[in-house]
A and B are shown apart, each in its own frame.
Chain A
Amino acid sequence: MRLLLRAIVSAEDAGVAADRGLVAVSATAVTALASAWDREGAATEAELLDHHRVIQSVFEQVPCLPARFGSTFADEAALRARLVQREADLAAQLSRLGHRCELAITCAWRDKGASAPIAIVPAASGRAYLERGVARTRTDRERERRAEEIVVRLLGELAVEPAFIRHRTCPRPAVAVSMSALVTRDQIDEINSRLERLGGQLPDVTTVVQGPWAPYTFAVSE
């Protein structure tokens, strides 16, 4: 029976598989939770959402490392072989990350006009075309500089160990900063209030916090 990997949990937490209809495949210290899977091809939106729901349900109950959708194994033996091969690393990750949850922080530019896609409008001359590019480059550099300032403010408010933060500046035209932070559950309320306060001091962006989720960005469970 082909299996789709959902998450990795500690071997002592393998019991969570039973009431979720999941298959538990154990090594010594860790257990892989998987579902029977006979589909081929690209995932549908419903399948991706279901994958997220399964992981969240496990994560609400026990520490876990979420698997990215699409890690499939021919059968239990193949999954167990892979689990044994990666056990030391998975156990270490689980102990470091498993009890933490991920918050996704997005700062979107309020000035939607400046971040709108640029329409292809022919320029009057080759020079005019390149000069338009010069102006765009200057705007981009200015936005990048401002996004870096916002990152510094966010890091100051989060006060989380650098290893538990990942971020990108200007990943899309409408977004200034996209940041993922790993926090403990008891930090969430305080961090949310601090970020809300900071949001009021950043007039050029809208700050949105999503989560808590399982540590998707930080775990490598496959």
Chain B
Amino acid sequence: MTTSGQTTIELELREEITRLRALLPERLDIDPADLERGLAGLVLTLVEFLRQVLERQAIRRMEGGSLNDDEVERVGIALMRLEEKIGEIAEQFGLDRDDIQLRIAAAS
């Protein structure tokens, strides 16, 4: 499907990039005591954001029937492990997973 020469996927991608831009702070607060934690929070937010984009695409393809059983299983396992890993790293840095979700929601 095309809209003014752009495919729906291109339009969705542009929308996701706009949201991604909103996630990035205008400036980094370089406080030495908190730098590591701040950067970890930023990186985890970006990774979680990308995980959610991939999950939405996977769900759409699963609902549309364009993934076979084996692909559904593999993609599902990969996304589940990635979600668990993000949770573990967030815990290691003392970050609240809900804060990460809120930052992504605020950028929507």
Cβ 8 A contact of B105, one of A120, A125, A126, A171: A171
Known: A133-B59, A134-B63, A171-B105. A120 touches B76 (CB 8 A): no
**Is A130 part of the binding interface, using a Cβ–Cβ cutoff of 8 Å?**
yes
Q: How big is chain A's contact interface, by range?
A: 10 to 19
Q: Interface SS of chain A: helix, strand, loop or mixed?
A: mixed
**Is B83 part of the binding interface, using a Cβ–Cβ cutoff of 8 Å?**
yes
Known: A120-B83, A172-B102, A172-B105. A125 touches B73 (CB 8 A): yes
Contacts of A42 in B (CB 8 A): 29, 31
Most A Cβ at <10 Å: residue of B58, B76, B78, B108: B76
Q: How big is chain B's contact interface, by range?
A: 20 to 34
Q: Interface SS of chain B: helix, strand, loop or mixed?
A: helix
Contacts of A120 in B (CB 8 A): 83-84, 87, 97
- Determine if A117 and B97 form an interchain contact, defined as CB atoms under 8 angstroms apart: yes
- Determine if A134 and B97 form an interchain contact, defined as CB atoms under 8 angstroms apart: no
Contact bitstring A109-143, B, C-beta under 8 A = 1, else 0? 00000000100101101111110011001000000
- Determine if B72 and A171 form an interchain contact, defined as CB atoms under 8 angstroms apart: no
Contact bitstring A163-203, B, C-beta under 8 A = 1, else 0? 00000000111000000000000000000000000000000
Contacts of B102 in A (CB 8 A): 172
Give the top 8 A-B pairs by smallest Cβ distance, nearest first. A126-B76, A126-B77, A126-B73, A129-B76, A130-B76, A129-B80, A120-B87, A117-B98
B interface residues (Cβ-Cβ under 8 A, vs A): 29, 31, 55-56, 58-59, 62-63, 69, 72-80, 83-84, 87, 97-98, 101-102, 105-106, 108
